[in-house]
């Protein structure tokens, strides 16, 4: 939306003092919660400029509105979005993702002489009266491995269960480590030192060897090899298996999962090798065909940088560049100095900055063939547990000012098909911990952007755990045909 957009809000009989205004908007946000949850269970996902509103608190909903006002420089408030939500609640909408922020902002800009109710109906007219689900039955999912990414996937799949006819986590496969294995794994799901407590319930049923998470029964299967399990014995059929161990990466080894009864497709949560396609969700999904039953999701860094590189190359052209990733330490490193097969990584992760290699530069060429051979990359591991930073030094095919580049990226983040992958901040006070739990593949730090003629330096933050897991979930849904149309579809 234009930055000089007029404020068309009609606020009759509203409090004039700031505290009264806040309380009024707080009450509206409180009323929104019930409607957001009700629509979610009917497979209608409400969003605010791409941010999913389900499971947010009242204050988080208000913060999301404030973020839009500050970043988009418009006058969007809970007063407008509440009217949009209440209008949507009576329309019996079909499965979809509806951005109430975009609808409300569009109405402020040009109401087309319609009432807000009429405008809302016009914005989602293809959905009205089509209440239902995307899949006939819930899609069975198996997690092979239960480490950092596996546990976040479990949280997100359960959180995204909706009306129960979406993805359904049926089993988790691990190696048994002791008598209290089940209890320990349940506790790791309940609590996390980085991402905080799980916002749900976890119950252990030791006799049945299963966890009950938010009412969903999840079987814990103990196995050492991927082709030694009969999942159908546990009622699992035509399942998508998500391998988050990183042990098996090529087609031959990953194909072992498909030899187990009950598994139809496999998704690897790491860069795949050989002939297995690596997909960055939202970017090169088009290369996937119906015959692809094994896919790789590339790395967290590749997922963070590729969307930004894609839009920059499409708009301005990228002649060459270097990407330096400042990456939080991972389980692969040592707490104290010890042997490691990779140079430098044997040194203490908690005490050192560690220069190491990354395959992100080469991976870009696999995802975006038009950029093959144009980028180099390196990495520095740093003593933080989560959130990383990609510093992209690029030579573009056009001379730009920093303000022009930031304006372009802001529009991409809010008003393009890449808004699920690219986030944007204009704060000059943000630090890495501010992005823990951020759901985007990468976040543009516009306050740090530097331009000198055709040379540009961009800083892209990313939660290398959570943001990557959200990308994985999006790809998993696409693999099983669980996709939602996004409304409104303004051209």
Predicted local distance difference test score (pLDDT) of residue 13 = 60
Distance CA 102, CA 215 (A): 34
Predicted local distance difference test score (pLDDT) of residue 276 = 95
Predicted local distance difference test score (pLDDT) of residue 490 = 65
Q: Across residues 358-366, what is the average pLDDT?
A: 91
Q: What is the pLDDT of residues 86-120, one digit of tens each?
A: 999 999 999 999 999 999 999 988 889 999 999 99
Distance CA 71, CA 274 (A): 43
Res. 387 pLDDT band, cuts 50 70 90: very high
The pLDDT of residue 330 is above 80: yes
Q: Which of 127-131, 176-180, 285-289 has the lowest mean pLDDT?
A: 176-180
Res. 259 pLDDT band, cuts 50 70 90: very high
User: Which two three-digit tokens encode residue 311?
Assistant: 């839009």
- Domain positions in the chain are 18-123, 139-270, 300-467
Give the Å distances, CA to CA, from 262 to 170, 235, 287, 470, 481.
Answer: 11, 9, 26, 25, 18
Question: Whole-angstrom distance between the N-terminal and C-terminal Cα of the chain?
Answer: 13
The pLDDT of residue 14 is above 80: no
Report cis status (omega within 30 of 0) of the bond before 260.
no
The pLDDT of residue 252 is above 90: yes
Fold of 300-467: Dihydrodipicolinate Reductase; domain 2 (3.30.360)
Average pLDDT of the residues of the chain: 93
Q: What is the pLDDT of residues 196-243, one digit of tens each?
A: 999 999 999 999 999 999 999 999 999 999 998 999 999 999 999 999
> Which pairing describes strands 422-425 and 388-396: parallel, antiparallel, or unpaired?
unpaired
Write phi, then psi, for 297 (nearest 5 degrees).
-105, 15
Predicted local distance difference test score (pLDDT) of residue 185 = 97
Predicted local distance difference test score (pLDDT) of residue 489 = 80
CA–chain centroid gap for 126, Å, is 26
| Residue from 97, 160, 101 nearest 124 by CA | 97
Predicted local distance difference test score (pLDDT) of residue 73 = 80
Write out the chain in H/E/C secondary structure. CCCCCCCCCCCCCCCCCHHHHHHHHHHHHHHHHHHHHHHHHCCEEEEECCEECCCCCHHHHHHHHHHHHHHHCCCCCHHHHHHHHHHHCCCCCCCEEEEHHHHHHHHHHCCCCCCHHHHHHHHCCCCCCCCCCCCCCCEEEEEECCCHHHHHHHHHHHHCCCCCCCEEEEEEEECCCCCCHHHHHHHHHHCCCCCCCCCCCEEEECCCCEEEECCEEEEEEECCCCCCCEHHHHCCCCEEEEECCCCCCCHHHHHHHHCCECEEEEEECCCCCCCCEECCCCCCHHHCCCCCCEEECCCHHHHHHHHHHHHHHHHCCEEEEEEEEEEECCCCCECCCCCCCCCCCCCECCCCCEEECCCHHHHHHHHCHHHCCCEEEEEEEECCCCCEEEEEEEEECCCCCHHHHHHHHHHHHHHCCCCCCEEEECCCCCCHHHHCCCCCCEEEEHHHCEEECCEEEEEEEECCCHHHHHHHHHHHHHHCCCCCCEECCCC
Distance CA 417, CA 420 (A): 7
Catalytic residues: 300
For the domain made up of 139-270, the CATH class stated in words is alpha beta
Instruction: Report yes or no: 227 and 259 within 8 Å, Cβ to Cβ.
Output: yes
How many CB atoms within 10 Å of residue 322?
A: 15
Res. 177 pLDDT band, cuts 50 70 90: confident
């Amino acid at each position: 939306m234009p930055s000089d957009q007029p404020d068309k809000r009609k606020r009759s009989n509203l409090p004039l003092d700031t505290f009264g205004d806040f309380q009024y908007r707080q009450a509206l946000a409180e009323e929104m919660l019930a409607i957001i949850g009700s629509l979610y269970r009917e497979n209608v996902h409400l969003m605010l400029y791409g941010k999913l509103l389900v499971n947010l608190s009242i204050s988080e909903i208000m913060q999301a509105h404030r973020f839009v006002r500050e970043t988009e420089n418009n006058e969007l408030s809970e007063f407008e979005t509440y009217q949009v939500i209440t209008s949507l609640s009576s329309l019996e909408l079909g499965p979809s993702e509806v951005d109430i922020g975009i609808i409300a902002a569009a109405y402020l800009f040009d109401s087309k002489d319609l009432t807000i109710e009429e405008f809302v109906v016009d914005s989602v007219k293809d959905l009205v009266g089509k209440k239902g689900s995307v899949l006939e039955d819930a899609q069975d999912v198996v997690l092979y491995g239960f480490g950092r990414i596996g546990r976040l996937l479990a949280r997100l799949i359960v959180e995204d269960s909706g009306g129960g006819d979406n993805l359904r986590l049926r089993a988790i496969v691990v190696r048994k480590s002791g008598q209290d294995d089940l209890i320990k794994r349940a506790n790791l799901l309940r609590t996390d030192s980085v991402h905080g407590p799980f916002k749900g319930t976890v119950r252990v049923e030791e006799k049945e060897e299963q966890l009950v998470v938010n009412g969903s029964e999840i079987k814990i299967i103990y196995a050492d090899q991927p082709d030694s399990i009969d999942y159908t014995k546990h009622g699992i059929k035509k399942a998508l298996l998500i391998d988050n161990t990183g042990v098996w990466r090529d087609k031959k080894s990953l194909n072992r999962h498909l030899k187990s009864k009950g598994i139809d497709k496999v998704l690897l949560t790491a860069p795949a090798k050989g002939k297995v396609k690596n997909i960055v969700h939202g970017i090169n999904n088009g290369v996937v065909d119906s015959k692809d039953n094994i896919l790789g999701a590339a790395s967290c860094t590749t997922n963070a940088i590729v969307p930004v590189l894609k839009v920059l190359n499409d708009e301005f052209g990228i002649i060459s560049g270097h990407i330096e990733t400042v990456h939080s330490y991972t389980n692969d490193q040592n707490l104290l100095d010890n042997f490691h097969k990779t140079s430098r990584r044997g040194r203490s992760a908690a005490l050192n900055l560690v220069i190491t290699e990354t395959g992100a530069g080469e991976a870009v060429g696999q995802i975006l063939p038009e950029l093959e051979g144009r980028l180099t990359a390196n990495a520095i591991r740093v003593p933080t547990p989560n959130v990383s930073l990609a510093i992209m030094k690029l030579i573009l095919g056009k001379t730009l000012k920093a303000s022009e580049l930031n304006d372009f990226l802001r529009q991409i983040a809010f008003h393009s098909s890449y808004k699920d992958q690219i986030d944007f901040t204009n704060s000059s006070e943000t630090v890495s911990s501010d992005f823990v739990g951020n759901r985007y593949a990468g976040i543009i730090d516009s306050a740090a952007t530097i331009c000198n003629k055709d040379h540009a330096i961009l800083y892209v933050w990313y939660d290398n755990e959570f943001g990557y897991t959200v990308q994985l979930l999006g790809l998993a849904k696409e693999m099983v045909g669980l996709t939602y149309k996004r409304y409104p579809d303004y051209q």
